[in-house]
Amino acid sequence: MAKLSGVACIAFLICMAILFVPHAQAITCGDVASKLAPCIDYLKNGGTVPVACCDGIKALIDAAKTSADRKTVCNCLKAAAGSIKGIQPGLASGLPAKCGVNVPYPISAKTDCSKVN
């Protein structure tokens, strides 16, 4: 009976750990859009980069831990660039540097996201 009680206790602890340990979630284009929404005006008109824009970029970089996440972000950026009228490519490519961050691939409509690691 003591063995069964020990097994039940271990099973209970494993179930509790599964319930309370945060689960990793994949990044979506919705995540990318919401983080970068504060950047749109700058990307169209230039000027001063909003702090919220840089905060969003930094949050995306921090969240994109896996190669799959980075590829998703890349593809979402390309899709957004094609669907939002008036974005200036030069401003987009220079945005990470203006925010003091390093993005591991060029921000360009020509970037091959399949090669992003």
The answer to whether position 19 is within a domain reads: no
Of residues 48, 45, 64, the one with CA closest to residue 56: 64
User: pLDDT in tens for each of the 117 residues of the chain?
Assistant: 555 444 443 434 343 333 344 445 689 999 999 999 999 999 999 999 999 999 999 999 999 989 999 999 999 988 888 888 999 999 999 999 999 998 888 888 888 999 998
The answer to whether position 107 is within a domain reads: yes
Supply the DSSP string of 17-52, one letter for each residue.
Answer: HHHHSPPP----HHHHHHHHGGGHHHHHH-SSPPHH
The answer to whether position 80 is within a domain reads: yes
The residue segments making up the domain with residue 102 are 25-112
The answer to whether position 1 is within a domain reads: no
The answer to whether position 100 is within a domain reads: yes
The answer to whether position 59 is within a domain reads: yes
Number of domains in the chain: 1
The answer to whether position 11 is within a domain reads: no
pLDDT value at residue 24: 54
CATH number at residue 63: 1.10.110.10
pLDDT value at residue 2: 52
